[in-house]
Structure 1
Amino acid sequence: MASGNPTIKQLEYFVSVAESGTFRRAAERLGISQPTLTAQIYSLEKSLTLTLFERSRSGTTLTPAGRELLNNARQVIEEMRGLMDQAAMINSGPGGTFRIGVSPTVGPYLLPHILSGLNHAYPSLKLYVRENMPKALELDLLEGRLDLVLIPQPFGTSRLTTEVLFHEPLQLIVPEGHQLAKLKQIKTRHLRDQNILTLEAQYSSYHQVRTVCEALGANIARDYEGTSLDALRQMVMMGVGVAFLPALYIYSEIHQPQGLIVRDIDELKLQRTHVLAWRRNSPNRAFYRQLAENIRSLVKENLGQAKVTF
């Protein structure tokens, strides 16, 4: 029989040790002493009548029982945070701190146009923004380190709920002296045998561009995969190839004269679909849908000239 019920604080300590890998790092992360943390984990294990961690000189690992309970512990913590957030919203409207993840190919070109509006709509709301690769953000969301993510589709799991925000075209950029720059209209057939520069494979747009290149007979310049949108732009300017860049980036960063020509391709609809995503059972899901609608409205208001659609 279990002796007493675990506390929320004990579950938070359990999750922190599991994520940190050692009691020392977890104690530093939590801002408590290591003996206090050890005592609380021991009390939790006694309450559950289970051993949660295997301890060794090299670190701390979860036992099979610990691995099985970890996601449940995260869900309990999330439900409690959701309860407190919901109570705060009832008392004084939406507020509190929410952790949101964004892709580095989205955040810098979108957030400056919406954060001020969100702050005006929700004066008590604080957004802690973290940039990372899409797959890493998805994992952080699933494991509770983030509350929301704003990144391009697709997602690889049904455990998340997504709300479509807007569609963003990918437009072709070419150097001024390039043969394609001389054409009044660029057709898909003109891309045959062209060298197309892309981001690395960990970005969703890479797979979109690769599919287009395979269909049209264009060549992906695999030796010149970019680590950022700025890197792609610079390589295009140096004549290494041409590239499809997101419309928000072009709207924000590419201004004439810059030695670059921006073109749409007839008969080719290449775009990114941006979504706001959260865990399917999140207690704040009603507010997240409201937040998604606010973001859509701000994009329509502030980025109408960036060729995004809804």
Structure 2
Amino acid sequence: MEDRLGAILIDRAAQSVELTPIGREIAERAKRVLLEIRDIRALAARSRNQLTGIVRFGVTPTLGPYLLPAIIGGLHLEQPGLRLYIRDGIPIEQARDLVAGRLDMMVGPAPVVGEDLEVLPLFEEPMTIVAPRNHHLVGARNIDRSDLAGERFLTLDPRHHYHQQVQRACAELGAEVLYDYEGTSLDSIHQMVGSGVGLAILPELYLRSDVGGDALVARLKVDKWQCSRDIVAAWRAKSASAGDYRALAERIQAEALSLLC
């Protein structure tokens, strides 16, 4: 390739194999060409009025397990040629994968930012403070923000949007974030709350789901305080399947809204 292009693409003086500056630029352009080729194939499939093949679908683990099971079965019956390759991951990292073409579509909490992405707002998901069932505030008729001052809240890895949201909520309530006990999933947070480690703020779809639920915890309703998160879908705006991804996003939106009713 170097002979055909008349340029040095690999730095042979380095201890490890590294691309030269022109090599890096050519590699990035080659990736975009490969994306265009794949989009051409997708465009041909779309001309047959069906979404077929594998859709590499990114979703945050704080949402996917509690929303997608209600959708996948019906979707498979309607579009038997469609396969969802689902990857749980950190939303910020998945947005980069989307731009680079390693994902076709993603669903997660806002904001989702990236070059040439189309972002569709789907729904607003309420979030609720939960406590161990033997907590002194459980059963209280009126809970004021000041009643939560000094309480300790569990959260996830700092790379999650969820972590930043819990931080903001704790700042509003005068509460503390338990950095030493970060959960690896909503299930682990749920279980730690149930065992008395601390309080948490859990999404509504999790609390209503069969795989999540609120069996170990009790909800706390705080006067004049609400919390929610905006869920969006995103895909590459120039993708040949952009229309199909929008239709899939709208299907997810409708199912989520029905679950939240």
Q: TM-score, normalised by structure 2?
A: 0.90
- The answer to whether the aligner puts 1:90 opposite 2:55 as a matched pair is no
Q: Is the 8 A contact 1:110 1:248 kept in 2?
A: yes
For 2:125 and 2:203, the matched residues in 1 are separated by 7
For 1:73 and 1:189, the matched residues in 2 are separated by 57
Q: Is the 8 A contact 1:102 1:150 kept in 2?
A: yes
Query: 1:48 is matched with which residue?
Result: 5
3-state SS of paired residue (2:68) = helix
Distance 1:125 1:183, change over 3 A: same
For 2:154 and 2:72, the matched residues in 1 are separated by 31
Query: 2:152 is matched with which residue?
Result: 195
Larger relative helix fraction: 1
Alignment of 1:26-37 (within 5 A): none
Query: 2:187 is matched with which residue?
Result: 230
Shift of residue 112 of structure 1? 0.4
Q: Report which of the two structures shows the higher radius of gyration computed on alpha carbons.
A: 1
Distance 1:249 1:63, change over 3 A: same
For 2:22 and 2:184, the matched residues in 1 are separated by 40
Q: Is the 8 A contact 1:95 1:125 kept in 2?
A: yes
For 2:54 and 2:212, the matched residues in 1 are separated by 34
Shift of residue 99 of structure 1? 0.7
Distance 1:53 1:283, change over 3 A: farther
Distance 1:95 1:254, change over 3 A: closer
Q: Is the 8 A contact 1:198 1:209 kept in 2?
A: yes
Query: 2:118 is matched with which residue?
Result: 161
Shift of residue 126 of structure 1? 1.4
Q: Deviations over 1:129-156 (max 9, x none)?
A: 1112222212221221111111111224
Distance 1:97 1:260, change over 3 A: same
Q: Deviations over 1:11-63 (max 9, x none)?
A: xxxxxxxxxxxxxxxxxxxxxxxxxxxxxxx3xx3443333333579643222
Query: 1:220 is matched with which residue?
Result: 177
More displaced stretch, 152-161 vs 80-89:
152-161
Shift of residue 279 of structure 1? 2.3
For 1:56 and 1:125, the matched residues in 2 are separated by 47
More displaced stretch, 236-245 vs 50-59:
50-59
Q: Tell me the amino acid that sits aligned with residue 158 of structure 2.
A: A
- Matched pairs, number: 260
Over aligned residues, Cα RMSD in angstroms? 2.2
Query: 2:252 is matched with which residue?
Result: 295
Gaps of 5+ in 2: none
Q: Deviations over 1:209-242 (max 9, x none)?
A: 1112112211112222222212211211121211
Q: Deviations over 1:195-215 (max 9, x none)?
A: 111112111011111112112
For 2:126 and 2:12, the matched residues in 1 are separated by 51
Q: Tell me the amino acid that sits aligned with residue 101 of structure 1.
A: G
More displaced stretch, 236-245 vs 188-197:
188-197
Select which of 44, 65, 70 maps to 2:27.
70
Shift of residue 268 of structure 1? 2.2
Q: Deviations over 1:251-306 (max 9, x none)?
A: 124556x34212343322311211111123323222221221122122234x245x
For 2:225 and 2:30, the matched residues in 1 are separated by 47
Q: Is the 8 A contact 2:144 2:223 kept in 1?
A: yes
Q: Which has the higher contact order (CA 8 A, sep 6+)?
A: 2
- The answer to whether the aligner puts 1:174 opposite 2:131 as a matched pair is yes
Distance 1:60 1:178, change over 3 A: same
